[in-house]
Amino acid sequence: MARRSYILRIASTPTCYLWTGIGDLETPPDKVDPLGARWLGSGGILTIPALKSIINGVAERVEFVLSGVTAETLRLARSDLPTIRMAECRIGYVEFDEAWQLVGAIRWEWIGLADALRVQSRSGAESRNRTISLMVGSADTFRANPNFTYWTDASQRIRSADDAFCDHVAAISYSVTRRFGPR
């Protein structure tokens, strides 16, 4: 039975390595880290959202959240703040065997660019909550670039004038079979 843990690599200065396990994780060299890497364990606290592939150039924005961090981790995040913007972020996973030994290499699944890092520390009546949030886009996701939300021929022609991918969408409705292909 294989056991899977996810990893997050942020190419800030210095490079940040996090994994969803406990303690440090040493990984062997690969194409991304030729010397190997030591990943800081974040336990089950690291939130990794569902990731999608880019379609028709419409980029995806995701947010990674690490809560319950120590004061020292919060201080380090604040000191690295200037190096985060536009840093490459990679999501991948590693697998372990029954004895929790690494099996195979890191499998990279997603690459994005960091937009912003938010660091928060809130004090309550009896506790303190420290949170680090990282916003990442899979491509150019700035506010000036609108997301197309409709799969219509008109929307597709705006993206690509000669693309007939959505040419027959207007003729589709519930319980109707439409033959696609040349007219």
Q: Is 102 in the same domain as 172?
A: no
β-strand pairing of 37-41 with 61-67: unpaired
What's the pLDDT at 94? 92
Q: Is 131 in the same domain as 62?
A: yes
What's the pLDDT at 115? 83
Q: What is the mean pLDDT of residues 102-124?
A: 85
What's the pLDDT at 78? 82
Q: Is 51 in the same domain as 12?
A: yes
Q: What is the mean pLDDT of residues 59-85?
A: 78
Q: Is 27 in the same domain as 9?
A: yes
The burial class, CB within 10 Å (0-12 / 13-18 / 19+), for 34 is exposed
Q: What is the mean pLDDT of residues 97-113?
A: 89
Q: Is 72 in the same domain as 156?
A: no
What's the pLDDT at 146? 53
Handedness of CA 140, 87, 94, 42 (dihedral sign): negative
Taking 80 as the threshold, does the pLDDT of residue 183 lie above it? no
Tens digits of residue pLDDT in 123-166 = 777 777 788 888 888 765 555 555 555 667 777 777 777 887 77
Q: Is 47 in the same domain as 120?
A: yes
Q: What percent of the chain has pLDDT over 90?
A: 10
Q: Is 167 in the same domain as 92?
A: no
Q: Is 115 in the same domain as 155?
A: no
Q: What percent of the chain has pLDDT over 70?
A: 76
**SS3 for 169?**
helix
Domain span at 56: 3-147
Q: Count of domains in the chain?
A: 2
Give the pLDDT band of residue 37 (cuts 50, 70, 90).
very high
What's the pLDDT at 106? 92
Q: Is 34 in the same domain as 74?
A: yes
CA distances from 87 to 43, 96, 147, 173 (A): 24, 29, 23, 44
Average pLDDT taken over every residue of the chain: 78
Q: What is the mean pLDDT of residues 11-25?
A: 87
CA distances from 55 to 78, 113, 168 (A): 34, 17, 19
Residue among 138, 144, 129 at smallest CA distance from 50 = 138
